[in-house]
Structure 1
Amino acid sequence: MKCPKCDYLDTKVLESRVSVDGRSIRRRRACLKCHHRFTTYEKEEELILQVKKKDGSFDEFSREKIIRAITMACRKRQISMDQIEAMVTAIEAQLRSEGDRVIQSSKIGDLVMKKLRQTDHVAYVRFASIYKDFKDPEEFVRELRGLKTNRETPTPGNNPPTN
């Protein structure tokens, strides 16, 4: 590490500490030539995500765009900003954990739909109508039937009690 005062290339690490969030390391250093003390931070290189759109163009991944889309779908619903943030954080974490630098926009849309379906069916249908580009009311009806069918199908461990 180069000394910021004299540009000498050899420094000594005096102390290292892991940050509160555990994602970076703070190091106190001293220059071996002029003895100037300074602090450096070491952190993991963040993966820059690109989104490949339907038309083949690329756009930088934007958390804010996802938040806006979900917020619009959830308007006048009992869904807090904290819940929306949690959904987006989970979606972003899943995308980053897969390690791909280029993500299809359809994958992001599918993940948003999955989270909304688990959270609020009205918000889910609102988002689906735009994402799937519904052209007529019958497409809404099909989507609603799909929701109803899935809700009526008992899942293991969640069977209705029998008398």
Structure 2
Amino acid sequence: MKKRDDNIEPYDEQKVRDGIIRAVKKRPVVDAQVTELVDTIEADLQTRDERIVTSSLIGGLVFENLRELAKVAYVRFVSVYKSCSDPEDFSGVLDGVLTTNDVAYPKTTTRQQQVTDTQRALRSAQSTSPV
């Protein structure tokens, strides 16, 4: 795997798993779902022709799959992965999550509650670290 600083190191499944576990902390996600997500990412990597893949590709696969699994975990992971440090940095991530038709909020949940829930997730994300 090629890192952002151009160093090459072996793929580490445990690092990927640990990053996902940090993102899904206190979310209704079980270990079997984390394992399935890691397996999905590894299967995708194995189908590629490249012998060396970038850490950016792996991170992108993680957050694509997290988005389907748990929206809050997705926001946490992306905010750390993309080094969001200001509220403005989060706006694109939040807009993407809040305006997507597949956001799984109950019909009785107000837009303000959705925003509050997402802001709470972002505060939590600031205490996590990237994969």
Shared fold, TM over 0.5: yes
Equivalent pairs counted in the alignment come to: 103
1:109, distance to aligned residue in structure 2 (A): 0.4
Match of 1:146 among 96, 99, 123: 96
Map 1:3-82 → 2, pairs under 5 A: 51-82=1-32
In structure 2, distance between residues paired with 1:58 and 1:125: 28
**Which structure would you say has the larger Rg?**
1
The list of structure 1 runs, each at least 4 consecutive aligned residues, that deviate by more than 4 angstroms after superposition, is none
TM-score of the two chains, using structure 1 as the length reference: 0.60
How much identity, in percent, do the aligned residues show?
38
Q: What RMSD in Å do the two structures reach over aligned CA positions?
A: 1.4
Q: Which has the higher helix share?
A: 2
1:48 alignment counterpart:
none
TM-score of the two chains, using structure 2 as the length reference: 0.75
In structure 1, distance between residues paired with 2:53 and 2:5: 14
Match of 2:74 among 105, 124, 131: 124
Distance of aligned partners of 1:89 and 1:152 in 2 relative to their CA distance in 1, 3 Å threshold: closer
Code of the residue aligned with 2:101 in structure 1: it is R
In structure 2, distance between residues paired with 1:84 and 1:150: 23
Q: Of the two structures, which has the highest relative contact order with CA contacts closer than 8 Å and spacing of 6 or more?
A: 2
In structure 2, distance between residues paired with 1:125 and 1:136: 14
1:142, distance to aligned residue in structure 2 (A): 2.4
Unaligned 5+ residue runs, structure 2? Answer: 104-131
